[in-house]
Amino acid sequence: MTFARYMELCLYHPEHGYYMQGRERTGVGGDYFTNADLHPIFARLIARQAAEMWEILGRPARFTWVEMGAGRGLFALDFLEGVNRAHPTFAASLDYVAVEPGPHQQDRIRERLARAQWEDSVRLVSDLGGLEAVTGCFFSNELADAFPVSVVTRLGGRLKEIYVDSEGDALHEKPGPISDPAIAKLVARYASHLEEGQRVEVTVLIPQWMRTVAEKLARGFMITIDYGDLAGYLYTSDRPRGTLLAYRGHRTSEDFYNTPGECDLTAHTNFSALIDCGEEAGLHFGGFVTQEQFLMALGAPNEFADLYHPGQGEIEKLQSRLRLKRLLDPTGMGSVFNVLIQHRGLELPALTGLKYARRGS
């Protein structure tokens, strides 16, 4: 089978898929940390951006925030608390939709929201299919990196796709012909200078994703936060093995085949493809910034005053500052993660989070 099909089964098989088992994936007891795991300030700052978007849209009576890939529900909880504490007028218009395909994960989200008495404030759905067209914002944090990817290399001067084959009880790679012309087109568009032996990852799901969001977004925004970059920085000879990695127990490896379904498989997001496919679907480019630039722009107006919880002691405040520093670190999360904002149904808006935006390519 193609590697893309193998990755799809490893992550999304209804029973054995990594994302479908209900296991603890993130945080100390999981395999990796997300931004939302570190501190509520991440969601609070994005809630500030959401409130500004609501203002730009003319304060609609119903502003729908669609979180695609809700995970454990941590972001939803922190976002709702931040909105209700700092933006009560916006909170009255907020319609929160959490998209999470795994039934076990949905149960965990319900439990977490119920403990905080927010269970009636979130609509939980398995996919975007039944969602009506909305005014608001579609948001994802570390979602696109989990799309199954096709792995392509150049051997003997010709493009070859990586397949997964078996020998006894062991799985191994095997090069073969390109399985879909769309894969070759993506390589030609974004990685045309592929060197002999170099590997890259592309996904044919991005155009479909952009079309689906565009169909469901009558007017508003899309925010994508993920690790990755524009194609010119992503597909280079500095990454001869590509960006595909397995995560398990907070360690990374290229061991993709010994424990299928037991580790996370991810590849860096090609933001150029998101921009291009978005434009083709009707989602217009708003701006592209690093996570550091995005959060700094949102936090600067009140000097990150909402970093602390009421009643925190000095040690707890220090811990909060250290976690904020990690989110902003230009040698780590602050630059590895990028933020893309797209819009539909309105003129190019001036958003606080895009103060330091650079143009996409």
Mean pLDDT of the chain: 91
For residue 269, is pLDDT > 50?
A: yes
Range of the domain at 310: 18-148+201-235+267-354
| Residue 175 placed within a domain | no
For residue 6, is pLDDT > 70?
A: yes
CATH number at residue 85: 3.40.50.12710
Pairs from 177-185 (Cβ < 8 Å, separation ≥ 24): 178/152, 179/2, 179/150, 180/150, 180/204, 183/150, 183/152, 184/159
What is residue 92's three-state secondary structure?
coil
Give residue-wise pLDDT tens across range 292-344: 999 999 998 887 888 877 777 788 888 888 888 888 888 888 889 999 999 99
Report the distance separating Cα 160 and Cα 148, nearest Å.
Answer: 17
CA 30 from centre of chain = 18
For residue 209, is pLDDT > 70?
A: yes
Q: Which region, left, alpha or beta, applies to residue 197 given φ > 0 means left and ψ of -120 to 50 means alpha?
A: left
| Confidence band for 26, pLDDT divided at 50, 70 and 90 | low
| Residue 103 placed within a domain | yes
Give residue-wise pLDDT tens across range 59-76: 999 999 999 999 889 999
| Residue 82 placed within a domain | yes
Give residue-wise pLDDT tens across range 167-192: 888 999 999 999 999 999 999 999 99
| Residue 128 placed within a domain | yes
Q: Are the CB atoms for 72 and 108 separated by under 8 Å?
A: yes
Give residue-wise pLDDT tens across range 221-230: 999 999 999 9
CA neighbor of 269 nearest in space, from 236, 211, 230: 230
Residue where the block lists tokens 């203002």? 55
| Residue 214 placed within a domain | yes
Q: How many domains does the chain have?
A: 1
CA 63 from centre of chain = 21
| Residue 341 placed within a domain | yes
Question: Rg of the chain's alpha carbons, rounded to an integer?
Answer: 20
